Amino acid sequence: MAKQLGRDQQGITLRGSAEIVAEFFSYGINSILYQRGIYPPETFTRVQKYGLTLLVTTDPELKSYLNNVVEQMREWLYKCIVQRLVVVISSIENSEVLERWQFDIECDKTAKEESAPREKSQKAIQDEIRSVIRQITATVTFLPLLETACAFDLLIYTDKDLAVPEKWEESGPQFIANSEEVRLRSFTTTIHKVNSTVAYKKDSFP
């Protein structure tokens, strides 16, 4: 049984790594929702995390929806069966996919058997996560404005033989037809590595 990760300990265990990555997704998704204007900015509040001031939602329904996902992610990350998390932003009126934020997860499966924690300082991981989140914030300088009201969807790519838990359903990949893509930074906990990219619909005029 992997041990719980103490905050001051240097070692990273599988469970600790799953926790770190799941937490990153929670704050990352909140940042995306704020920066892209999916929900009114007044419904977000500031919290301190990773040495940054981040914006998280205060809307209770949205909060519980995100918590569900993060809980599930944490479990699947621990079992190393999740490969990708995608945030799809689509227009409400015509369901056209406008933006697609993709987070690829590479899991080192050998960590399952090991019991000794890996060496990587919390601070180093925090610094890497901080860079990714700052990049997400900075993408606003080149992503096209979302003119219409949009909704978001969360897709998770898992192993084929996984039993679909209740509340989840199967879905298609929801790609963007004519897209431009930008790779963002990645971070690693030595057990999980997360690569981020954002794809957006190319503007119709040159």
Partner 1 sequence: AQFVFEAALHGLLKLDTPIPNAPLARWQRKAKESGGPVPSPATALSPMKPANRSHSSSKTPSKTPGKSGSKIQNTPTKAGGDRYIPNRSTMQMEMANFLLTKENDPAEESPTKKEQQKAWAVNLNGFDIEEAKILRLSGKPQNAPEGYQNNLKVLYSQNMTPGSSRKNGRYIPSMPERILDAPDIRNDYYLNLIDWSSRNFLAVALDNSVYLWNHTTGEIIQLLQMEHPDDYVSSVSWIKEGNYLAVGTSNAEVQLWDIQQQKRLRNMTSHSSRVGSLSWNSYILSSGARTGHIHHHDVRVAEHHVATLAGHTQEVCGLKWSPDGRYLASGGNDNLVNIWPCTQGDSGEFAPVQTFTQHQGAVKAVAWCPWQSNVLATGGGTSDRHIRIWNVCSGSCLSAVDAHSQVCSILWSTNYKEFISGHGFAQNQLVIWKYPTMAKVTELRGHTARVLNLTMSPDGATVASAAADETLRLWCCFEMDPIKKKEKEKANSAKSSIIHQGIR
Chain centroid offset of residue 150 CA = 18
Minimal CA–CA distance to 25: which of 108, 105, 79, 111?
Answer: 105
Of positions 14, 176, 191, 194, contacts partner 1 by CB under 8 A: 176
Neighbours of 67 (CB within 10 A): 11
Instruction: Determine, following the binding rule CB under 8 A, whether residue 95 of this chain makes contact with partner 1.
Output: no
Q: Are 102 and 173 in contact (CB under 8 A)?
A: no
Region from 11-19, 20-28, 96-104, 113-121 binding partner 1, contact rule CB under 8 A? 96-104
What is residue 141's three-state secondary structure?
helix
Say whether residue 61 binds partner 1 (CB under 8 A): yes
- Report, in Å, the least distance between residue 104 CB and partner 1: 6
Which member of 48, 95, 110, 204 binds partner 1 (CB under 8 A)? 48
- Pick one of 94, 110, 141, 204: the residue that binds partner 1 (CB under 8 A): 141
Name all contacts of 35-40 with Cβ < 8 Å and 24+ positions apart: 35/136, 35/137, 35/139, 35/140, 36/89, 36/99, 36/143, 36/146, 36/150, 37/146, 37/150, 38/89, 38/150, 38/151, 38/152
CB atoms under 10 Å from CB of 3, counted, come to 13
The only residue of 38, 129, 132, 191 in contact with partner 1, by rule CB under 8 A: 38
Tell whether residue 46 is a contact of partner 1 (CB under 8 A).
yes
Q: Provide the minimum distance between the beta carbon of 189 and partner 1 in the complex, in angstroms, as a whole number.
A: 17
Least Å from the CB of residue 45 to partner 1: 12
Q: Do 136 and 33 contact (CB within 8 A), yes or no?
A: no
**How many residues belong to the chain?**
206
Asked if 2 is part of the footprint of partner 1 (rule: CB under 8 A), the reply reads no
The alpha carbon torsion through 159, 119, 101, 164 (nearest 10 deg) reads 20
Closest distance of CB 193 from partner 1, Å = 10
Q: Is 116 in the site for partner 1 (CB under 8 A)?
A: no
179 binds partner 1 (CB under 8 A): yes
| Spatial distance between the Cα atoms of 97 and 79, rounded to a whole number of angstroms | 31
Q: Which residues bind partner 1 (CB under 8 A)?
A: 35-41, 46, 48, 51-53, 55, 59, 61-62, 65-66, 68-69, 72, 83-84, 92, 100, 102, 104, 106, 134, 137-138, 140-141, 145-151, 153-160, 162, 164, 167-173, 175-183, 195, 197, 199, 202
